[in-house]
Structures are given as structure tokens and as C-alpha cells.
Amino acid sequence: MSSSRPPLRATALLAGLALLTPGLAAGAARAAEPAATVRVNQLGYLPDGPKRATVVSAATTPLPWQLRDSAGRTVASGTTTVRGADRASGESLHTADFSAYTGTGTGFTLLVDGRAGHPFDLSAALYDGLRADSLAFFHHQRSGIAIDAALVGPAYAHPAGHLGVAPNKGDTSVPCQAGVCDYRQDVRGGWYDAGDQGKYVVNGGIATWQLVNSFERDRRSGTEAALGDSTLKVPERGNGVPDVLDEARWELDFLLRMQVPEGRPQAGMAFHKVHDAQWTALPTRPELDAEQRELHRPSTAATLNLAATAAQAARVYAPYDAAFAARALAAAKRAWSAAQANPAVYAPAGDSTGGGAYDDTSLSDEFYWAAAELLATTGETAYRDAVVNSPVQAAPATPFWWGDTGTLGRITLATVPGVALPAAELAKVRASLTTVADAQLALQNGQGYAVPLAPDGYVWGSNSAVAGNGALMAVAYELTGQQRYRTGALESLDYLLGRNALDLSYVTGYGERAAENQHHRFWAHQYDASLPHPPAGSFAGGPNSGLQDPVAQAQLAGCAPAKCYLDDIGSYSTNEVAINWNAALAWLVSFAADRPTTVPTAPKVLVSPTVTVPEGGSVTVGVRLSAAPAQNVTVTATRTSGDQDLAAGGPLVFSPSTWSIPQNLTLSAAPDADTANGSAVFTLAGPGLEPATLTATEADGTTVPPTASCAVSYRVASDWGSGFTADVTLRNTGTTPVTGWTLVWTFPGSQRLTNAWNAAATQSGSTVTAKDLGWNSTVAPGGSVSFGFQATASGPNQAPARFQLNGALCT
């Protein structure tokens, strides 16, 4: 992510100076091309999304616009809204809004006052290709593996780089910088960070997290098949693992190799980075890099990045590779302990020869992020306490980048089902995310180009900040269901794909007028015609008013902030690529491309359909909603029939940010003189909600639980001695649907739950309670629902003897 200061990646000042020669002016020629006055998303728009364009005009009254299809027919028309002066671009602007048109097709054009913008498409599948290409970027950036022409095409193929094959001098046995260590480390693999060929743990961490989190988000929405096996061009396709996880695994294995081995000083810490001892010349194919590689001193920041991403991996990879998940969790815990023992080991700001320093001396955010991931994966008290007691928990959420990662932890806590965080603390986290999303919406709505970036926010990597801020709005949409957040996220993509002050798509291969000369050692066609342009889906850093390279300084002096950009390979401060930037783009594009199969309906009240209450006592039952309400809503439990000795407490209030957090409804049974087990039906309802019914049965004396029409299959899928994964299938053997399920069992041995998927599961003592996630709450007659979990165990790993569905025994 971008910061208030550049990451000082400056990948070769001498190479940048060399590009000021007369034969290398293609970028300048592109900058001189005439720009349209009607600025649109040059890829297009979603039929059910916002459709707005920005028009450059000094007119003080609205202008007429027409939307025309590929045959030239006018399909919609209207007039613009005058926006006036725009500080970031220095232009006078109007907005044309054609969102009401929901047709589809290709080759649409928007004419304003007789002037046309670039053609674009209207399609629900608009972002499918860009999703694949933005993720394919990472395969191109892989180190230590041959890039196969069968996957990428002959122009982009090359032998493996940095495997110790001459002239390479790494990365299978890399020495440390003088004074750092006296041994060598195998740190092969991973992704080249940016236009150079260094590899950095702090940038690899945030990039990996975004790819894996994108898969987690899709799994929650039921659209994970779009990122599944054989969806990307990666060598591992067809192995039964989602391709996006295969790609992230390539970097995760590298991150694990960067951990200081046991028995060495600072064991468990992570080396900060590995790169050439001197700046790599431009251009240089990775397999031809002859510079000596060096490991740089461990840092607390790198160690916490490793802890966070490895903990996330332990949670997400468990269903696909339990052994890797266990190894990742062990590494995460070692890293956390090492960081606690070494809380202030900083990367030197001056360590910028041959690679960027990536220095960071404020680490409360990294501690919070790592604790949040470990809590979400393990549920352990120590990590919960670290989250609750962190200064980050009490502070406002902020936009995230590699130097400020606390909000990544908030996103995990707010969205991963079943996180063992007190309800009040979880509500605080969710509210902080909607608040920071509201701030981005306010920035966006106040500008003619609808960019979630302040006029003084055009710094190194500004495009990544736009994508990341769009992702914050997408998270708020998931938490609340409010369309304004989805609109904000999609309009962030409009800016990146052409609706901007330069009338330029910053993504190679997407848009009639797109960047094609990003700063890179191998994709250097502007420097050497035998080398390729960057592949489709490569994302330029974007406007940077700091102008920290000589090419930008020579050509952009006095530029308006939103126009401080050159599509020139020498302008590394405006036109470099980076893995964390492309990860932000891929996350946001994947969100835009998702097409959930279910149609949103009114939120439902979710509660166990039956409960048994002891006579003279009380029980609590969890109540939540299936989706976010538009505003605060009160749920009241009313007895509609049955025994008046049974009573319900309440009411319960749910907000747009706390709708999925269960609240306890108390049911009580007054003592009576009879010996019958009376029952009563309660209706739980609220304005704008689909109600639910609950049958409460009074238990006179000691009774056994009733039986239910259900059957449970319990299967240990993998057991490695100290832990295991299991699959549980609940089948409805009755004649009526089960709506809302809670399955309870007791482990007969030492088994302890660590994480679960497709259910929210917790353990108290030896008793495990697994609840539906809303989207899988209904089980039809004869139907079934499955979920899985990972647990630790010592000694015999016996299966539970019985299961209770909503308080009743299954057969």
C-alpha cells in the first residue's frame, strides 16, 4: 500500500538516468496523445452497478449526454451535473450518470455535448478476464521456477532465476551481510517484489494476505469456485487445491524459509529481505543476474508479517494440506514468541543499496495483525488478550499499506466466522471498519473523478491506495449489505481503468489507452525491443506528486497532483509495479467479478427452532440475523401460543455492523404444580425482518433430551498424531426443513478444536458447539450440510458418542 512517504524502492538511479537518452521517449509520446474530454471506465461497467463518467468542461450549466450502443442507437440520455473546479486535477468537471440503464452489450459510447469518450462494454462478466490476469501477474514474478511458455506465451517465458545456476549466485545458499550471521540460508522461491529482483518479507506478507483473504471472502459468499482449481494459468493447476492458494503458497514457502533456524541467534525471527548486493542493471533477465545475493538482518516487522500470514495459512489451507497447515501454525507461533522477545529490532532506514529499505519503527499495528490472525486460527486466550489490550483496538481504523497493517487484523476479526472475541470488542472492530469506509466514501463523493484519495494523497503507489481504499468499502459492504459501499468500491475501479485526469487505464492490456511501459527489469520493451512489454494485468504505481525519479522531474515539473504520472520505464516513482499493489488490484477486481447465486432478501431472524427449559430455571439461546439491516432494528420475542409458565426476555437490538454477532435471549419456566412438560411457541420478529419461531418445552424434573429426525456422519479425514482434521455431515431425516442448526457433541478424549470451516465452532471444556453460517442454515428434508474442523489431540482419538441438533438427540 502507499504511504505518506515513498518506500524508497528507487530501483536503480543510474538506470533511470540512462533512460533520459533520445531513443527512449515512447512514454513521452504516449503522454502527448490527445485525451478524450469524456472520461469513462475504458473496460466498462456492470449492469447492476454505478455507471458514471467525468466530463472536462468549463460550462457552468448542465450539458446533454447520450448513451449509444454499437449500432449507434441512443439507448439512454440525460444531462450532466456540474461539479466545477477539481483541486487534484486542476480541471473544471461535470458528471454524467447513466446508472439507470441496465442493458448489456459491447461497444457502447457516451457522448456529451457531441464529444465521445472511449468505447466500453456493459456485462456481468466484465471483470472475469482482469481477475485472472491480475492474479497471473504473480506467476510471472515467481523466483526459482522456470516460467513456461505453455502458460504465459513465448515472449514471457524464461528459465528459473536465482537458483544458484551460473551466472546467478543464489538463492539456494545465500550469505548474510557482514556482521548479520555466519551461515548461509536457502531462501529460494517467492515472488520478485517489484521492478527489481529483491524479495522482501514485509511486502510479501501484505501481498500474500490479500490473495488468501480474497479466497476467504469468496468462500464466505459462496463464490470460491471462481478462484478454484484450474481457474488460473499456474503449474499446479489440477491438484485439487484452489489455484489462488497454489499461487500464494509459492510466496508462503519462501516466507517460511526466511525464518531464522532453531539453534541460531534470534531463532524464530525472520530475515527482513534478500536482494543483490548492488543495484541490478536495467534490463536484466532474472536467470542472467550475476550479482551476489545477501540476506539482511532480521527485523521485528518481518517476523510479525511471517506470524500473521503463516497463521492465516494454517486456517485456510487446513482442508487441502493439513501437514502444511500444521507447519505454518508452528512457524507462526515461533515467530510470535520471537517478536515478543525482540519487540524493537528495526530494519535500518539507510539499508537501501541494491534494494529498498522498507524500514518501519512503529510496530503496534503488526503486533495487532499477527495476534488477530493467531486468534482467528487458534482461539487461544493469549492472542485474544493481545488483541483486546492493543492500542490499535482502541484507535480508529486507518487505510492499510505495508507499513500500517493493523486494519488487516480488523478485517480478519470482523469477517472470519466464530472468532473468539467478546461481543463488545467485535462490535467495536466492525464499527471502526464502517467508519473508515465512510471516510473513503466522503473523499470519493467530494471529487469530480470519484477517487477515494485526498488531493494531497498522490504519493508513491497512489493507485494501490485507491485499490486498498476501495477494498475497505467492499469489506463494509460485506458487513452491512449497504449498496453505497459497493458503489464506492466499483467506482474506485472506474478511476483506475480510465475515469481519471489522464484518461488512461493504469492496467496493461485493459482499455484503449492503457499503460504499457511500467518499470521492470525484464518487461523492458521500451529499453530493448527484444524484451516484452509488461503482461496484461500489470498495475502501474500511479500519479506521485513527489517526482522522485529524474525522468519525472525532467518532464512533469509543476504537474497537478492527479497528473504527475508518466508511462515511461524510467519513471520508477510513478510507473513501477509491485506485488502488494497488484494484490490490492486483484482483491478489488475479484470482489467486482463475484456473482453470488442467491438474490438478497430481507434479513431473517436466526434462532434454534427448539429449546428445553428446566422447570424453575432458565436457559439462553443465541439469536442473530442472516444479513445486515439497513438501520438499527429491534427483535422482540412474543409468546403466540402454549404454556404461559414459559416466558422470553428481550428485546434485542441489532445494528448494520453487529447483525451477525449472536445475542442471548433468556427463556424461563416458572414452577408449577403439574407433572406435564408444557410447551410454548414464541415468534421472534422486527420491522423489515423475516420472523422466526421458537418452541420452548418445559422439563419437569430430570428428563432426557428429546430425539430429532437427523443423522450425523463423523469422519477423521487426516490424523498426524498431534492433531487431525475431521469432516461432519448432518442429514435431515425428517419431513420438514431444518432452519437454523446448532450441533453439539462431547469429545471423549483430549481433543481440542483449533479452527473450523463452513461452521462457526467453539469449545468449552470437552463440549463443542457448531453453528450454521447463515448461508447454510437451511437443511431440506432428505438433504444434508457438511463442515469440517481441525483439532489437536494426544492419546486415542475416539469419535464422539452422540450429537444433539438444536437440543435434541440425533440417531
Instruction: Give the Cα separation of 201 and 271 in Å (integer).
Output: 8
For the chain, percent helix, then strand, then coil, each to nearest 5?
A: 30, 25, 45
- 196 included as an active-site residue: yes
Burial class for 340, CB neighbours closer than 10 Å (0-12, 13-18, 19+): middle
- 674 included as an active-site residue: no
Kindly report the backbone phi and psi dihedral angles of residue 769, in degrees, each rounded to the nearest multiple of 5, phi listed first.
-120, 120
Instruction: Give the Cα separation of 488 and 452 in Å (integer).
Output: 8
With contact defined as beta carbons under 8 Å apart, do 351 and 277 qualify? no
Cell of residue 523, nine digits: 518487461
| Residues whose CB falls within 8 Å of the CB of residue 631, separated by 6 or more in sequence, listed in order | 655, 656
- 519 included as an active-site residue: yes
| Residues whose CB falls within 8 Å of the CB of residue 382, separated by 6 or more in sequence, listed in order | none
CA distances from 114 to 60, 90, 502, 573 (A): 17, 23, 20, 37
Instruction: Give the Cα separation of 313 and 502 in Å (integer).
Output: 39
Instruction: Give the Cα separation of 629 and 9 in Å (integer).
Output: 45
Instruction: Give the Cα separation of 454 and 458 in Å (integer).
Output: 8
Rg (CA), the chain: 28
Burial 712-747 (b: 16+ CB within 10 A, else e): beeeeebeeeebbbbbbebbbeeeeebbbbbbbbeb
- 567 included as an active-site residue: yes
The full DSSP string for 574-608 is HHB-BHHHHHHHHHHHHHHH---SSPP-PPBEEE-
Element at 31 (helix H, strand E)? helix 26-32
Burial class for 765, CB neighbours closer than 10 Å (0-12, 13-18, 19+): exposed
Catalytic residue from among 94, 519, 525, 533: 519
CB atoms within 10 A of CB 665: 23
Catalytic residue from among 86, 193, 196, 247: 196
Q: How far separated are the first and last CA of the chain, in Å rounded?
A: 53
Instruction: Give the Cα separation of 585 and 593 in Å (integer).
Output: 12
Q: Please, what is the angle between helix 243-257 and helix 300-316, to 10°?
A: 140
Amino acid identity, residue 804?
A: Q
Nearest CA among 400, 381, 465, 396 for reference residue 428: 396
CB atoms within 10 A of CB 299: 28
The full DSSP string for 144-195 is SS-B-HHHH-GGG-BPPSSSS-TT---SSSEEBPTTT-SSEE----SB--BS
CB atoms within 10 A of CB 243: 24
Residue reference for cell 458503489: 487
Catalytic residue from among 86, 373, 503, 576: 576
Q: Regarding beta strands 44-45 and 120-122, do their DSSP bridges make them parallel or antiparallel, or are they unpaired? A: parallel
Nearest CA among 268, 244, 239, 245 for reference residue 256: 268
Nearest CA among 323, 351, 225, 268 for reference residue 721: 323
Instruction: Give the Cα separation of 286 and 292 in Å (integer).
Output: 13
Residue reference for cell 439461546: 621
The full DSSP string for 273-292 is EEEESSPPPSS--GGG--SP
Catalytic residue from among 404, 567, 568, 643: 567
Cis omega before residue 171 (within 30°)? Answer: yes
Q: Which residues are catalytic?
A: 196, 519, 567, 576
